[in-house]
Amino acid sequence: MTANEKSGRVIAVTGGAGFIGSAVCRRLARNRQDRIVNIDKLTYAGNLDNLSEIAEAPNYVFYRQCICDGPAVLEILRRERVDAILHLAAESHVDRSIEGAAVFLETNVIGTFAMLEAARTYWSELPADRAERFRFVHVSTDEVYGDLQPGDAAFHEDTPYDPHSPYSASKASADHLVSAWRSTYGLPVIITNCSNNYGPYHFPEKLIPLVILNALDERPLPVYGTGENIRDWLFVDDHAEALEVVLNSGTSGRKYNIGGAAEKTNIDVVRTICSVLDEIVPRAQGRYADLITFEADRPGHDFRYAIDARRIDEELGWRPRETFETGIRKTIRWFLENQWWWEPIRSHSYGGERLGLLRSDSTKLATQGH
């Protein structure tokens, strides 16, 4: 079955104003038979500019709503007669979780609990045929599995959980709650665990956009440790497609790993960005790689993540369309052409000072994965 064979549904997307959620909303809204209901609190990471191309679409609606308020979410599910939920709302930045874990537990754990309870109540009220088709897709991360050394087998769906940061521990907790709601109440859930995403509309505190923008600003490009940490990189539109495929064809109660088949060391990622920039917008003097600096590593920095994504390929026929080389070029071009989007975030209106974006050591924030 292809991604677009099902239509005429109402799909709620939590966190739809974020980086991945907005890619999901933009993709799903292309099918004008479907109605997309975006539920997002608009934290610092939520940005309605990510949705400007669908803001006026007749099949798209936005609710500014915190997911921790279960009764309010339930009211939206009932009013919109939702058929499926894609749950992406989360606090997502590892470094922020080390600086302050409370909001991660609040949104990622308590918020997911509230979503599950709202979904369960709503689902129990549906007529049998609609209840049968209902899905709660919980979008999680590969970081719940812990980390790997070179030569270790990649994470598969049965790899035991071993989270190392407050972020990954909060996501692991949420995954366990979702599984428990399946076992205990029979809620038709699917969990996806995905590797690092990159692409258009990526918030500039994360590694790839920050390296691109700092390079263009002639600022230092600090990298943790020796930059040998390995991540698997997935272009965000590929992730959005994978989630649509899982929603349409995934088996209720099943887990699917999603990866980009693109393992790279952090230093390779930074060097690749530099060499593409050298080619497209050369510096007046020198090369962009001259801006790279190495910083003391941060605690608990997982060495390697790698995803075994054979299940989603073999069972649902999904695999990434972009290689890292094609995806990073698209991403760099997008950032070069869309200054209107990132300029306000880099400057005062999104609290650049608070994010450390205006400090010389700021890029340290971005060098850890997600």
Query: Does residue 40 interact with ligand NAD by CB under 6 A?
Result: yes
Question: What is the rounded CA–CA span in Å between residue 294 and residue 224?
Answer: 6
Sign of the four-CA dihedral 60, 63, 64, 69: negative
Question: Would you say 3 or 13 has its CB closer to ligand NAD?
Answer: 13
Specify the stretch interacting with ligand NAD by CB under 6 A; choose among 63-71, 149-157, 267-275, 277-285: 63-71
Among 31, 38, 97, 107, interactor with ligand NAD by CB under 6 A: 107
Q: Which residue is nearest to ligand NAD (CB)?
A: 18
Query: Does residue 46 interact with ligand NAD by CB under 6 A?
Result: yes
Query: Does residue 17 interact with ligand NAD by CB under 6 A?
Result: yes
Among 139, 207, 213, 246, interactor with ligand NAD by CB under 6 A: 139
Counted residue by residue, the chain has a size of 370
Query: Does residue 331 interact with ligand NAD by CB under 6 A?
Result: no
Question: Would you say 4 or 43 has its CB closer to ligand NAD?
Answer: 43
Question: Would you say 115 or 291 has its CB closer to ligand NAD?
Answer: 115
Question: Would you say 197 or 363 has its CB closer to ligand NAD?
Answer: 197
Instruction: From residue 320, give the alpha-carbon distance in Å to each of 60, 272, 332.
Output: 26, 20, 19
Question: Would you say 64 or 130 has its CB closer to ligand NAD?
Answer: 64
Please confirm, yes or no, whether 143 is among the known catalytic residues.
yes
Nearest-approach distance from CB 341 to ligand NAD, in angstroms: 13
Question: Would you say 19 or 350 has its CB closer to ligand NAD?
Answer: 19
Query: Does residue 320 interact with ligand NAD by CB under 6 A?
Result: no
Query: Does residue 363 interact with ligand NAD by CB under 6 A?
Result: no
Specify the stretch interacting with ligand NAD by CB under 6 A; choose among 85-93, 119-127, 208-216, 337-345: 85-93
Smallest Cα–Cα separation from 126: which of 186, 38, 36, 40?
A: 186
Smallest Cα–Cα separation from 141: which of 192, 202, 179, 101?
A: 192
Among 25, 66, 221, 267, interactor with ligand NAD by CB under 6 A: 66
Among 28, 36, 54, 67, interactor with ligand NAD by CB under 6 A: 67
The residues that are catalytic are: 142-143, 167
Binding site for ligand NAD (CB under 6 A): 14-15, 17-21, 40-43, 45-46, 66-68, 88-92, 107, 111, 139, 141, 171, 194, 196-197, 203, 370
